[in-house]
Every structure is written in C-alpha cells, then in structure tokens.
Chains A and B, each alone.
Chain A
Amino acid sequence: MFVLYSTFYVEFIAINVVSPKIMGSNIGGLNLAVIYGMGLIVFALMLALVYNAICTAAEEELNTPDTGKEK
C-alpha cells in the first residue's frame, strides 16, 4: 500500500516537473492541480482506513491484539 501511495505521489511530482501546463487543464469546474492535490489527501485517508480494516480483521481472526501488527 505504501508503494501504491508513493507511486501516486511521485506521479504528482513528475507531472509538475515534466509538463506543468497539464496541471492547469480543466476537469469540470476545477483544474487538475486542485483535484489531484485533494485526491492525494483523500487517498491517504482511504488507504489508512483500508489498512485499519485489514489489521482489525487479522486481529479478530487470531484473537490476540498484538499479532495484528504482523500484517
């Protein structure tokens, strides 16, 4: 999951460096920069939630709180 997020983050930097004009292009009422930036924030939260769900499930399965950390 970390790799997934890093990729998303690196892509954001790459677009900015390689062709900054794309960031100004419109998508609906907003531009890509705003949507991507907000996206990075929301995506971080989503990943954290998924991560929590996986860990919690693992914990319940093993029924000992500590082993959930092995995930």
Chain B
Amino acid sequence: MYETSPYAVSVFVAFVALVLWMSYYFARQTKSAKNYFAAGGSIHWAVNGIAFAGDYLSAASFLGICGMIATYGYDGFLYSIGYLAGWIVALFVVAEPMKRLGKYTFTDALDSKFNSREIQLLAAISTLVVSIFYLIPQMVGAGTLVTPLLGLPHWLGVVMVGTIVIIIVASAGMTSTTYVQFIKGGLLIIFSFTLVMLSLYKGLNTKLELADGAPYHEFKSLPVEIDSAGKIVSSDPAFQVVNTFDQGKDLVFVKGVYQGTESWWHLILKENNTGVLEEAYWTKTLLAPVKSKNGSDSFKLYNGVPQRDSLPMQAGHVGLLKYKGETKDHLSQLGPIEFLEGLRDSTIIRFMNKSFADGSDKVTVYYQKATPGRDILRPGLKVKLDEDKGATSADKVNFISLMLALFLGTAALPHILIRYYTVPTPAAARKSTIVAIAAIGLFYVLTLYMGLAAMVNGVVDVTDENMSAPLLAKSFGITIFALISAIAFATVLGTVSGLIVAASGAVAHDLMDRFFNMKLTDHKKVLAGKIAAVVVGIIAMMLGIVFKGMNVSYLVGLAFAVAASANLPAIVMLLFWKGTTKQGISWSIGAGMVSAIAIILLSPDMFERYGLAKASAPHVLNNPAILSVPFSFLVLIVVSLMTKEKSQKALKG
C-alpha cells in the first residue's frame, strides 16, 4: 500500500474540481449559444489541435505506454509508433474522402448511401462494442492513478471514476468542450516534458535514492554451493533453505528463511557447483487468512507482510553503468542522445515474475533479470522476433497483427473521426490535425524517455506496471506527482465521459429510436440515453476491476483491433469501391466484430486471465487484426458480389 500525503490529495482534488467546474461552465455556455460549433470560427486551429491531442492522449498513452517501456523497453515504443502512424491513415485515407461525402461519422456515412435498418443496427452495436472495449483500459488506468496518490485500492479508483462520470453524464449531460481538452492536453505535454528534463538531469545512477531520502531497497545476494546430493548449501548461518522450486527454463526459485523471516530467492548457477541466490520480491495468496495491523483478515502477503501494511514493491535499477567504454557510478545532466547511449552500453536490472503453487498457497516471485541495455533499446523483450531467442512464426504473426491493428485502428474509432470535424473550415481542420500530430508525436518521443527513466530509477511497481509514469514523478517530489496524476485523471474522466456519451447515444438514438422505431419523444430519448449511460458505466466499471494489472496499452491494442476489423473495411470499401452493397456492409461489420472478439476471447493471454494454462488455448494469436481485418474485407466483397444484381434490380425497379 502507498502512504498518502494530505498535501498531494488536496492538490489533486483541487485540480480535478477545477476541471469539472470548467467542463460544467463551458457546457452551459454551449447550451446558451446554439451555433457554437457551427459558427465555430471562434476556436483557433492551434487550440483545437492541442485539444485533439488532449482527447487522444488518454490513459493508454500516458500510463500504458510508459509502463510497457518501463518493463519491456523498446517494445512499448512500438505502440507509440503505431498509434501515430494511425493518424496518417485517418488523415489521408479516411477523413478526406468522407469529408467529400459531406458526412462526419461512421454511421452517417454508411446510412446516407444505403439507409438500411440492418446497417443502423450493426453500426450501433459496433459503436457500443468498440466504446466498451475502449472504456476498459481507461477504467483500469483510473484505478491505477489513484492507488499511489490517494492510497486507495484499485477497485475503489475504478468505482470513483465511474461514479463521477455517471453523475456528470446522467445529470448534466456534459459536453466536454474544446477548451477543457486544450488545457488538459497542453498541461500533460508540458509536465511530461518537465519530467523528462528532470530525469535527464538526474541521469543514470547505480546507487539510487528515492525522493524522501529513503534508500532504494538493497537486494541481497548470497553465494551458495551445490553439494553432491544436489542440495543448496549456504555458508551464511543466518540463512536456511526451506524448499526449492524448479520452474524449468533455468528458473530455479528457493524458499528460505533469512534472519528469521520467510524470503524467496532466484538461483543463478555458476561453474564448479557454485551459484548465487538473488533476493526477489514476492507476493502470496493465502488459503487461510492472517490478521493485518488493524485486525482485518488479509489473504494476500506482500514480501511476507499483509497487503494493507506492506510497502509498495518498487524496483528496477542500473546494474552496471558503462559509458563510452568506461565503468561509472553515476552520470548526470545528460542530453537526450547521451542518455540513450549510456543506457545502451549498461546492464539494467529488470524484474520478471513467475507464479506457482507453494503447498496450498499461490506464490508469485518477482525476480531480477539482468538485461543488456542494447536489448532494451530494440524490439524483442515482449514481442519475440529473434529466432535465436526462440521466436516462433506465431510470435512474428502476432507482431504483424498488432502493428496492423494500431495502424488501421485509429481511423476506425468513431470518436476520433468525430473529433476531426469539430472545426469550421476544411483548412482549419487540416491545420489542427497537423498540430495534433506534432503534439502527439512529441509526446510519444517523451514517453520513451519517461518509460526508460522509470525503468532505471527504481520506481516501477512490480505488481502493476501501469503506475510507472506517476511513480517516476513521485520520485521527483510530491507536487509534480500530484499535478501529473491530477492531469492524467482528468484526461481519463474526459475520455470516459465522451465514450459513455457515444455509447449511450448509440443505444438511445440509433437502436431504440431508429432501429426499433420506438418514436420516442425527446424527453424519453434523453431519459433512455441516461439509463443507457448508467448501464454502460456500470459494465465498464466491472470490467475495469476484472482487468486490473493488465497493461492498458495492450488493452487499447485489442480495442483498436476490434475497431479496425468491424469498421474500417466498411468505410474504405464504401469510399473506394462502387460495387459495395448494403448487405456487404452489414455482413462485413458483423463478421469483423464477431471474428475479432472471438479470437480475443480464445487467445492465450485471455486464457491466462481465466486462470487456465496459456497452452490450452485453441490458437496462438493474441491480437486478432491479421485474421479478422482481411476476413471482414473478404466477407464484404463476397457478399456484395452475391447481392449485387439484386440490389441493382431493386434500384431500377
């Protein structure tokens, strides 16, 4: 658990309150001026551009990418590259031709040409599904943010965000306006920039000190010998081996008692039957609870202490620091290139984890893994690509699939496309997109530095990598930490309420009103929308709790894959192929959506979530895009060809 400081909490609460008040204030202004967006000229394109960035740089970017870079190095940066590349697709391929059609949203464009009820139904369902998929990572991120700051458990953070947003949406009907997004986006970039500057100034150190002067946990290592019977013998009298656990792949863990307390160690074998035990962090899920300090039952031990009373398990440091061929203690005041150069030549201690059973309890050991900086600065630690390191073709296909989903996903997210059209003139829209690309690009370069700085500064929480960026801020002092968390939290609030509005709109407007032809009065429609918002909000909260600890960027990758499979083929073919029929469109949306979700639900990573063995999953694909996108295209073409004559006859008749 994290200790809380009243000062940090008050900075946080004040900032969030300010943002909420601003949204409310601007929302009311919007109401009074009906043609706010139509007249629109009042918003400068540069302001609008930063607002785009504020909207797009959600929890996934700030928390997820930084966290992934902090754990896996360059592989997290692949997400940055893919997300940004997606904007190019949005700008060149989809947005321009759609603008020419005179339509702004996915459903509108499809509807204008065919006016078919099936399309309305499927487009609405797909909007709903994509929104919910996109909401999960936002919720997970929100829970992540409040944990270190307010000292609350993750689930409470999720419930908090959900409740605030539901109240806002259901009571006031918040329009998260351009100015609020502008300020949030701008501040996020400025503070990230500051954080990177501070990190570069601090540089690389082998001796770490945390912000409040507390020393970094010193991981012990014990030399041991292996006797003829294969037993591990330590010369240190304070240490006794209790049991060893061979987990294959050179992973041998030792449960021991050191100075009277239980501890877990990772055995590294050396020559001549000698070895070294390296101290590890560990958590344990107990069958029978123990009492924590306040007397409540605790089923979870962190380093042997009940979870409530434990210290956060933060780790990650430079093992051996080398720069230009020389071994050093520390390097400070580095430039951006020197930082990467130093990191490349050094050895970084990262923490990997392994879970297994210890009697009736389940233990997870977070062990040290010395990684050459060279490997951190290139792909391969998460996505396996090097055949020498055991990469299979399935790994490679997964990688291509992920990059495809990121590339095509942005253009298929309904709420991104709507954003593209909030400015009055085409020229202004274009210019603000460029400002957005510049701002987002800059931010993604910053994520690389924030992630790597978190990796070497002993701040990564081994149980939840999503916290890396806020915890990096914490190592520089409580004020910047509180501010950054508050900005990020406000961004999550903005994104979540936008998504919930979109999803409830899909239910109330597209489904109930148009598809079921319920002919609701305006008043009832609003009511239906609000009820839908509450329901969607509750679903999102539950999913947010279930997916705790999963990297939020990874989850967004899945949302992108679903969006790209369901929506993109329909949009692209509608724009560029005259033979497209309405049946083709409906089938393609349905097929893309169902196949993408089915592949995700049956993937190895999800099986791990269900608590089953990864290997028992029926296939090896973790990201569905490579199969489901072409499949959706194929379905569209085949069905269109099959139904072409019929629809032409219908047109003539």
Residues of A within 8 A of B (CB): 1-2, 5, 9, 12-13, 16-17, 20-21, 23-24, 29-34, 37-38, 40-42, 44-45, 47-49, 51-52, 55-56, 59, 65-66, 68-70
Contact = CB atoms under 8 A, between A and B. Distances in A.
Nearest first, the 10 closest Cβ-Cβ pairs linking A and B are A33-B378, A2-B92, A20-B385, A29-B341, A23-B378, A41-B441, A24-B378, A20-B386, A48-B434, A17-B396
20 contacts: A2-B89, A2-B93, A9-B407, A16-B379, A17-B399, A20-B378, A29-B340, A30-B344, A31-B378, A40-B85, A41-B81, A41-B441, A44-B85, A45-B434, A47-B88, A48-B433, A51-B92, A55-B427, A65-B427, A68-B427
B84 A40 contact: yes
Contacts, number: 113
A45 B441 contact: yes
A4 to B, nearest CB: 10
Interface of B: prevailing SS: helix
A45 B438 contact: yes
Contacts of B391: 20
Contacts of A41: 80-81, 84, 441, 444-445
Given A2-B88, A41-B444, A44-B84, 20 more contacts: A2-B93, A5-B92, A13-B400, A16-B385, A17-B400, A20-B379, A20-B391, A24-B374, A29-B338, A31-B344, A37-B80, A40-B81, A40-B85, A41-B81, A41-B445, A45-B441, A52-B434, A65-B425, A68-B426, A69-B100
Interface residues of B, number: 48
Nearest to A17: B396
B427 A30 contact: no
A23 B85 CA distance: 19
A29 B385 contact: no
A48 B430 CA distance: 9
B380 interface: yes
A59 B337 CA distance: 41
B401 to A, nearest CB: 10
B515 interface: no
B228 to A, nearest CB: 42
Nearest to A47: B88
Contacts of A21: 386
B437 A45 contact: yes
